[in-house]
Structure 1
């Protein structure tokens, strides 16, 4: 899923790039999915450089703040049954 999304992103970022000497910089955390060969190949294919964030540095990763807010909202709804999870996630996302 991440690989497909990244391919889509890179295709759109690079399609209008007439200056082939310019490189995009991908800043990724250290999740294993970000370090597999497919991601490295995509970066190479689209002339991108990868920079990995330092380990254990969620303060440098903006998505971590979003996940924290979402988890807090879901917990505040006190989900006790599976059928409520979808509703709780929906409410949490709308509150962000």
Structure 2
């Protein structure tokens, strides 16, 4: 399997209270920053990731359900799958719905579940790390600002970074580059 035929789906939670984890202040002074006490409703960001970067994403209020995950597959993923592609997901409850397999196999692709507790095999986890860093720096405090920051953050994951994330997870970067030319 060449990395160019692999696509990963995962979700990440975010809210209005995301803030930088580190800061600076003058020597001897405390670093102080404001964080809202009410972080608002949890938002779930679900994304489709390949060696081309984040190919698609959607933001859903609350946690993902099997229904919202299948809607994402139908709308954003199935049209991007080619026969022979492998769609890799973790074992989250919303991924285990029977319709998920039907949708993926209906597109001629293969559905693969990662082993339990193995995010190190999933390059999208590294992409989410970059997205979350951008969201923390943006410090969005309204739902509209958060959605805008998410859209900007997923665009910032470059093709070069995507290939590096794949290589970091053990998928050959040379094969990935050869497949894209």
- TM value normalised by structure 1: 0.62
Runs of 4+ in 1 over 4 A off after TM superposition: none
Per the alignment, residue 34 of structure 1 pairs with: 95
Deviations 1:26-84 (A, max 9, x none): 322212332211112234444544321012222211111111111111112333x2154
| Aligned ranges 1:20-59 → 2 under 5 Å | 24-59=85-120
Count residues with an aligned counterpart.
Answer: 85
Distance 1:91 1:8 in 2: 23
Instruction: With a CA cutoff of 8 Å and minimum separation of 6, indicate the structure with the bigger relative contact order.
Output: 2
Structure with more helix by fraction: 1
- TM value normalised by structure 2: 0.38
| Aligned ranges 1:1-96 → 2 under 5 Å | 1-4=71-74, 5-10=76-81, 13-14=82-83, 24-79=85-140, 81-82=141-142, 84-96=145-157
Where do 5+ consecutive residues of structure 1 fail to align? 15-22
